A and B are shown apart, each in its own frame.
Chain A
Amino acid sequence: MKRVFGVVALAAAVFVAQGASAQTLKQVKDRGVLNCGANGQLAGFGLPDAQGNWAGLDVDVCRAVAAAVLGDAKKVKFVPLTAKDRFTALQSGDVDLLARNTTWTESRDTTLGLNFTGVNYYDGQGFMVRKSLKVNSALELNGASVCVQQGTTTELNLADYFRANKMQLKSVTFADADQTVKAYDAGRCDAFTTDASGLYSERLRLAKPDDHIVLPEIISKEPLGPSVRHGDDQWFDVVKWVGFAMVDAEDLGVDSKNVDEMMKSTNPEIRRLLGVEGNFGEQLGLTKDTFYKVIKQVGNYGESFERNVGSGSPLKIDRGLNKLWTKGGIMYAPPIH
């Protein structure tokens, strides 16, 4: 009986929450601040710095949406969420937008009631080894011992990969990420595996970071992206197109430094992006110069990437799959037309 009541109450609450939140754009404008669910403890994606200012690739998504909707990238209230409470926070309206390194999966997109607005980082599981091992590919790891965190999908992916490639695996498991890294650093295993973005930040914590390399193979698909609630198509479009505009801007060579000169450009695609021609921002319920504001205040996707996780940051993550489609990656955005 209690259980039935719980389910009914939950369903009712979800229903009410959805009904009430069909006008997120208006709510955000009225409130004057964007509530953004973020990670708060993942280097490069969402982490407060020494002054308490948030920075990261996911954080930039929130800032870009704030710049687009409110005209000021600073008008964001970051709500730190744990992996457990992130979906409830979005569902209940605590946050307008969830940008917390969340993997886009079928069940989350459907039964959890999320709408993923795109992918802002193609992640996947990778390997790190010592340079002295002289291994250049994960396929050469036959018989190697691999440090991995217990009870994660990472552990399962590892076993699958070795079995699929008919290699011998000696996995050494640990209860938490810290112990896993320490053990690898102490030489208890030949290789260490976790998501590629994590490999780069963990490498910094090794005694001699330069003695280790990340192998090129990515053995699982972890497309990370921002998400919004079901049932508000207008808001879904806004967040989606802010993300696309940042990629399109990089594609067209528009960045935060040259955006003012680019206003004079004769390239019709740039003119449409920056609102010189057409009314593409207005179609979203915003202003003409919406994307101009985003690029001016936050930058294009490439700038955001380099600043937070790429060469401009201590993480120095290789762009890999996240390169533009024209440069050998798969980062691609539909045109603004």
Chain B
Amino acid sequence: MTMSEGDLAVAELRFIRTETLEQQPPPSSLTGPIGWARENLFSSPFNIVLTILIGLLVLWIIPDLLRFMFFDAVWTGADRDACLESVQNRTIGACWPFVWERLPYFIYGSYPIPERWRVDIFFVLLAVGVAWLLWLNAPRRDIGVVYSFVVLPIVSFILLHGFEAIGLPVVDTVYWGGVLVTMVVASVGIAFSLPIGILLALGRRSNMPTVKLFSVVFIEFVRGVPLITVLFMASVMLPLFVPEELSPNKLLRALIGIAMFSSAYMAEVVRAGLAAIPKGQFEGAMAVGLGYWQMMRLIVLPQALKITIPNIVNTFIGMFKDTSLVFIVGIFDLLRTIEVSRIDPKWATPVTSTTGYLVAALFYLVFCYGMSRYARMTEARLGKADRR
């Protein structure tokens, strides 16, 4: 083997490295926080302007909010004097003792104090049901479904409303209030809207004319009327036509109104999902000999519901917040109990209302953000199939 001319030329070169250079870290301007900021926050003039504007907005809001909620806040006190600037001679932020004192009212409303343990048990049972259904790796989720949709409603009704035969005094629903009512209304709305909504959506796409007509009329009628109107009709007009004994109580009227309303919206969401499923899926299911319900249950609905998860959760979140509209018909949900409390002359100060509304905002934020995070998680998990 002889060396070619080219190889000789290379061998005569003086500067040739015999070992590879050690890898250098990238320049400091491209790594760490600075690099990240350059790449993400200040990558273009437009981005720079946006970053600065949003930064200013945050700087404008956050310090004041923190000052109001923590640094200037009043933490203890017996009555309004503790939260009055003219008495304390300092800037006053949130009036937390007002919230501490009123907290039981925010949670239970006027529910009789000796019976409040029943509400506590209801909250625990509800939490168990929700966790059982939502935690995807939970054991025996089939029992969980039965528990949440059959056992829980019956037990909760007996527990909250009372049942003389087993020694639980009846507590009329006018005494219910606060978080209790918000939770009852929201969970009834959510629990009813999905199954009824699916049935209505299937009905609307059905080939049977009566079923189709009923579904279309129901959905369009209920969707075409504002929720407030539905609640008004249910609470004001209904008692005029029905004798006193037969007329359902106020809370039940509102629950029926909300369940109808949310079902109609849910039906449209689910229908959108059904429409997005390719025809081949239906035909394939029929070709392997599945009946209508089997086809829907095993092939179509799982796919349809999966793609509509963001919309379903969006509807749930909307509904959770809409529960506060029941105050219009004189039901004391959380927002209403706060509204009532801020008027209490014992705590009337310039900051009382703000503090009360802050509590409401935090409550709704925690629950709605929780729902939205859970939906993202489920979406990500179900989306794995599509990326395979």
Contact = CB atoms under 8 A, between A and B. Distances in A.
A50 interface: yes
A305 to B, nearest CB: 15
A30 interface: no
Interface stretch (A198-206, A225-233, A290-298): A198-206
A52 interface: yes
A210 B343 CA distance: 19
A43 B343 contact: yes
A91 B235 CA distance: 13
Interface in A10-57: 10, 13-14, 16-17, 20, 40-44, 47-54
Contacts of B112: 52
B120 interface: no
A185 B174 contact: no
B236 A52 contact: no
B105 A78 contact: no
Contacts of A93: 239, 244
A211 B350 CA distance: 14
A319 interface: no
B346 A41 contact: no
Residue with the greatest number of chain A CB neighbours at <10 A, chosen from B172, B239, B332, B352: B239
B20 interface: no
Given A48-B105, A85-B330, A207-B85, A43 B235 contact: no
B167 interface: no
A314 B330 contact: no
A82 interface: yes
Contacts of B102: 50
Interface in A77-118: 77-82, 84-85, 88-89, 91-94
A43 B348 contact: yes
A337 interface: no
B333 to A, nearest CB: 12
Interface in A141-164: none
Contacts of A77: 172, 174
A52 B240 contact: no
A258 interface: no
A314 B348 contact: yes
Contact of A41 (B84, B105, B343, B348): B343
A207 B244 contact: no
A313 interface: yes
B146 to A, nearest CB: 35
A315 interface: yes
A92 B343 CA distance: 30
Given A20-B244, A41-B343, A201-B343, A51 B105 contact: yes
B344 A208 contact: no
Given A47-B343, A81-B330, A82-B328, A52 B350 contact: no
A9 B239 CA distance: 12
A260 interface: no
B293 interface: no
A88 B240 CA distance: 8
Given A47-B343, A47-B344, A92-B239, A185 B350 contact: yes
B110 A205 contact: no
A41 B339 contact: yes
Contacts, number: 117
B104 interface: yes
A48 B110 contact: yes
B161 interface: no
A217 interface: no
Interface string B98-115: 000110110011111100
Contacts of A78: 174
Contacts of A209: 84, 86
B104 to A, nearest CB: 7
B374 interface: no
Contact of A314 (B86, B236, B346): B346
A277 interface: no
B240 A205 contact: no
A52 B86 contact: no
B303 to A, nearest CB: 44
A17 B80 contact: no
B240 A204 contact: no
A178 interface: yes
B340 A41 contact: yes
B215 interface: no
Contacts of A84: 236
A88 B239 contact: yes
Given A13-B241, A47-B340, A207-B86, A201 B345 contact: yes
Most buried by B among A201, A205, A207: A205
Interface string B327-363: 0111010000001110111101110110000000000
Nearest to B345: A314
- Top 3 nearest A-B pairs by Cβ distance? A52-B110, A204-B348, A314-B345
Interface of B: 79-80, 84-86, 101-102, 104-105, 108-113, 172, 174-175, 177, 235-236, 239-241, 243-244, 247, 250, 328-330, 332, 339-341, 343-346, 348-350, 352-353
Given A9-B241, A53-B110, A210-B86, 20 more contacts: A41-B339, A43-B343, A43-B348, A50-B101, A50-B104, A51-B113, A52-B112, A52-B175, A77-B174, A82-B329, A85-B235, A85-B330, A92-B247, A93-B239, A94-B239, A178-B353, A185-B350, A204-B349, A205-B348, A314-B348
13 contacts: A50-B101, A50-B102, A52-B108, A52-B175, A77-B172, A81-B330, A85-B236, A88-B240, A92-B240, A93-B239, A208-B86, A314-B348, A315-B345
